[in-house]
Amino acid sequence: MAQSIYKLVDDLPAKSMTTRMLGALDWVVPGEWKNIVGFENTIRAVTGETDQTRIQRIGERAIHLFNDKSQGYQSAIWLYQTVDSVQKLGGMAAFTNKLSTSFGFLKFLGRITPKSDTTQAVDFGIKTVTEIVAFCKINGIPGDSVGQFVESLADYRHEALMRMAALISVDGLLPLGPEFLDKTLSLLDKTGAGALEGNAAFQKIRSMIPGGNTADQMKFIQKGVGETKNWMGSFVQKHGLTPDKIVSNLRGKISGLDGKLDYVAAVIDMSTNYYEHTGVQSVARSLISRAAAEI
């Protein structure tokens, strides 16, 4: 890992397209997410500590835990960073494909880019599995513990809950519509392992996804989406989420989000890194909470 956890947290932007996007989704989980930046600020916010000596000790212990490669914190950060670093390619592919269907002289682009629905479905599946595997890494449990992850969703708070709200909203509902879960499972089943072989995000993180080969890893992705389906579906109903409501709030906070919903989703893909941003915050929170308990 090139950077320490304190550097990663200190370098989080106070304002960016990502923070504006997350702020525009605050109505989904009001009060759960605050853009806390700075390692010491995070220690104070998570623990409530005001004693500088104790804050220093908590910080040192958290850094030690993060640097210990036998723990899973560095792997979790890498997963969050990596899936976001290549999502822009998926967003560009979806956006380019939409252009090819809208403008006759760009039809050739449609032959060299994936269908946008397939791209978005695979992206959604990979992001869901990234969350599962990162959760397992942070908590020191086997990476295929989907059941434990699903149980933990009832206790998701703060940055983790906001990340799931954003996943459902901008990677599920916007590009794929109200039936995004069934659509994702159907498309994953239809495309099979071949869709993963050509996916940049999968190629980057495949070593972390349980399964002895691509076909087994596709089954794990399908399992991950399938077993989180009830929780996500209930989340959508509980919060009254609809594509129109989501995009209306996004347009109220971010200028330039014009056009159809799938165009908006592609622009968000290309211009934000909410998995990395909230992932760093989640890992920092977990480290700091553990460090405080241990000292």
Sequential DSSP letters for 124-153: HHHHHHHHHHHHHHHHT--TT-HHHHHHHG
Q: What is the dihedral of CA 112, 118, 121, 124, to 10 degrees?
A: 0
Across the range 270-288, mean pLDDT stands at: 95
**Residue 26: pLDDT over 80:** yes
How many angstroms separate the CA atoms of 29 and 150, rounded?
A: 19
pLDDT tens digits, one per residue of 177-215: 999 999 999 999 999 899 898 888 999 999 999 999 999
Mean pLDDT (the chain, rounded): 89
**Cβ of 19: how many Cβ atoms within 10 Å?**
19
* Among the listed residues 223, 153, 156, 211, the one whose alpha carbon sits nearest the alpha carbon of residue 184: 223
Q: Is the dihedral of CA 45, 268, 187, 78 positive or negative?
A: negative
Range with the lowest mean pLDDT among 80-94, 112-126, 156-170, 259-273?
80-94
Q: What is the DSSP letter of 48?
A: -
**Is the distance from CB of 187 to CB of 123 less than 8 angstroms?**
no
Band of residue 9 on the pLDDT scale cut at 50, 70, 90: very high
Work out the angle at residue 46's Cα, subtended by the Cα atoms of residues 143 and 82, and round it to the nearest 5 degrees.
40
Residue 200 near residue 212, CB atoms below 8 Å:
no
The mean per-residue pLDDT over the stretch 160-183 comes to 96
Print the SS3 string covering the chain. CCCCHHHHHHCCCCCCHHHHHHHHCCCCCCCCCCCCCCHHHHHHHHHCCCCHHHHHHHHHHHHHHHHCCCCCHHHHHHHHHHHHHCHHHHHHHHHHHHHHHHCHHHHHHHHHCCCHHHHHHHHHHHHHHHHHHHHHHHHCCCCCCHHHHHHHHHHCCHHHHHHHHHHHHHHHHHHHCCCHHHHHHHHHHHHCCHHHHCCHHHHHHHHHCCCCCHHHHHHHHHHHHHHHHHHHHHHHHHCCCCHHHHHHHHHHHCCCCCCCHHHHHHHHHHHCCHHHHHHHHHHHHHHHHHHHHHC
* Residues 76 and 19 sit within 8 Å (Cβ to Cβ): no
DSSP letter, residue 171: I
CA–CA separation, 64 vs 177, rounded Å? Answer: 44
pTM given for the model? 0.90
pLDDT, one tens digit per residue, over 236-264 is 999 999 999 999 999 887 776 766 777 77
Question: How sure is the predictor about 97, in pLDDT bands with cuts at 50, 70 and 90?
Answer: low
Q: How far apart are CA 177 and CA 165, in angstroms?
A: 15
Each residue's pLDDT tens digit, 211-230 = 999 999 999 999 999 999 99
